[in-house]
Amino acid sequence: MGNSSLIRTALLFGLIAAIGLALTGWAPAAEPPMFGDPRTPAIRVVASEAASQFVPLGVGKSVVIDLPRDIKDVLVADPKIANAVIRSTRRAYIIGAAVGQTSVYFFDSEGQQIGGFDIAVTRDLNGLRAAIKQALPGLDIHVEGLGDGLVLTGNVATPIESQQAFDIAARLVDDGHKVVNSIIVHGRDQVMLKVTVAEVQRDVIKQLGVDLNTANAGLSGGPAFGSAVVNLNTLPPFPVYGQPLFPSNIAGTWKSITATLQAMERAGVIRTLAEPNLTAISGESANFLAGGEFPIPAGYTCAAPTIGLATACQYSIQWKKFGVGLNFTPVVMAEGRISLKVITEVSELSTENQLTLIQANNTSLTIPSIKTRRAETTVEIPSGGSLAMAGMIQEQTKQQINGIPGLMQLPILGALFKSRDYLNKQTELMVLVTPYVVRAVAQKDLSRPDDGYADASDPATVLLGKFNRIYGSAGKPDPRVTYYGKPGFILD
């Protein structure tokens, strides 16, 4: 009886509440509209790299992973890069097999992701780290793998320490191009290289020959023997030098024979001197060239022929350098010593072994050759020490005697039927190299070649032969010095 009364009381209160809500206009909110077919299940990403943990691993190395729930399934994206071995319900081993990157995911019995790992398999770097630490103790150098290469980072005091770490890493990978040296060097020194290139060449050429010729004299013929006439033509070839030195000669005529004596001797001296000074940061390269470039044809192209017009052809040109060249790379080592790689070259244009091309229009194009003296070395010397790189002495002698067989062997008279060509070349080249560890200097402490230069006035130039005015030293009064002698400019 009591339960029935309670039910009736609850129904009465519910009816009263419903009538009140209806009178106030309240209505339940409408449910949000559903997009798509409600029968289609929702798609969601269960595992991705966004929530994965990065794990570096060496080839042939392993890592042990403990998971919070039991493992039901495992996914390895590329088993050739890494492999996962399940030893228990909550422990797995990941083993690196080859250089590369892959992903490993673990799932529980309900298909939920337990853990995801982004595996980067690189070279085994522990041996390299130990080698660098042993060779360079106390230095802040880090080694990281990048694909099949390496990246060196950290801070060192001298470039030689950075270079040593790079050499050790390059030996490990057998290819220096796969090693990125990002080590920061503090306090990099600068090296100035003072080079003196001195060369002296001496040439001696001697030519002697007799030209017996009957046609030059405008005669009808040489010596006659009955009805036979013998014409003589013994022009000396001079093959060593290639041609007679000068066209001047001594000629004489006896009866119907003209004899021309070609005798000449020449001696010459060539002196080359260059003193380039270059400054470069330790570990960087610097180049110098005092000379020029000359064009040589690299190809010959012709346009398509046009009716009534000549075919247009032209050469493609390349430029070759010559002169005194210098390339050096300094590395400042401990205790003021400098490891220096130097390449120096002295080259000049020459007519020897030159090339002559015959063009389509029957014109010739002559291309000169280049005589080159080159020296390359790597040494270690102290700052301010000098090195004679190439003290080279070369001597070349050529001599040829040409003549008519039999007649040139005759005593005394045989000199009329032969010629002698003699060439002697002597060259001495010396390259002196002196490196200095230098520091920055203020501009006020430097001087230029044109400091204090000013053109002389017209009267001073015309009457006294002066080219420029003369000033005293900076900051000092002009000294009053009386000059006794002949004013002007002397030309030797």
Per-residue pLDDT reduced to its tens digit, 347-406: 888 877 788 877 666 777 788 888 888 888 888 888 888 888 766 777 878 887 877 777
The rounded mean pLDDT for the chain is: 75
pLDDT band for position 204 (cuts 50, 70, 90): confident
**pLDDT of 307 over the 70 cut:** no
For residue 1, name the pLDDT band (cuts at 50, 70, 90). very low
DSSP line for 186-244: SS--EEEEEEEEEEEEEEEEEEEEEEEESTTTT-S-S-EETTEE---B-----TTTSS-
- How confident is the model over 29-38, as a mean pLDDT? 51
- Count of C-beta atoms within a 10 Å radius of residue 436: 16
Q: Which of the pair, 336 or 86, is modelled with greater confidence?
A: 86
Closest to 213 measured CA to CA, from 197, 195, 235: 235
What six digits make up the tokens of 209? 């020959």
pLDDT value, residue 120: 86
Q: Are 322 and 314 in contact (CB under 8 A)?
A: no
Cα 486 vs. chain centroid, distance in angstroms?
Answer: 55
Torsion angles phi and psi, residue 188, rounded to 5:
-70, 130
Query: Would you give the DSSP letter of residue 457?
Result: P
- pLDDT of 314-358, one tens digit each? 777 888 888 888 888 888 876 678 888 888 888 888 877 788 877
With CA atoms as reference, report the closest residue to 244 among 215, 201, 209: 209
**pLDDT in the model for residue 219:** 42
**Is residue 46 pLDDT above 60, yes or no?**
yes
Buried residues in 113-150 as b, exposed as e (16+ CB within 10 A):
bbbbbebbbbbebeebeebbeeebeebebebebeeebb
Return the higher-pLDDT residue of 438 and 306. 438
In this prediction, residue 37 has a pLDDT band, given cuts at 50, 70 and 90, of low
- The answer on pLDDT for 65 being more than 60 is yes
Q: How far apart are CA 33 and CA 330, in angstroms?
A: 77
Q: Which is more confidently placed, 250 or 190?
A: 190
Query: Could you report the per-residue pLDDT of 223-269, keeping only the tens digit for each?
Result: 544 454 555 556 666 666 666 665 556 665 666 566 667 777 778 88
Whether 29 shows a pLDDT value over 50: the answer reads: no
Number of other residues whose CB lies within 10 A of the CB of residue 168: 19
| Structure-model confidence comparison of residues 1 and 432, the more confident one | 432
What average pLDDT does the segment 302-322 reach? Answer: 71
Q: What is the mean pLDDT of residues 122-139?
A: 83
Residue 216 pLDDT = 46
Task: Indicate the pLDDT class of residue 221, thresholds 50, 70 and 90.
Answer: very low
25-39, 268-282, 467-481, range with greatest mean pLDDT = 268-282
pLDDT at 24 over 60: no
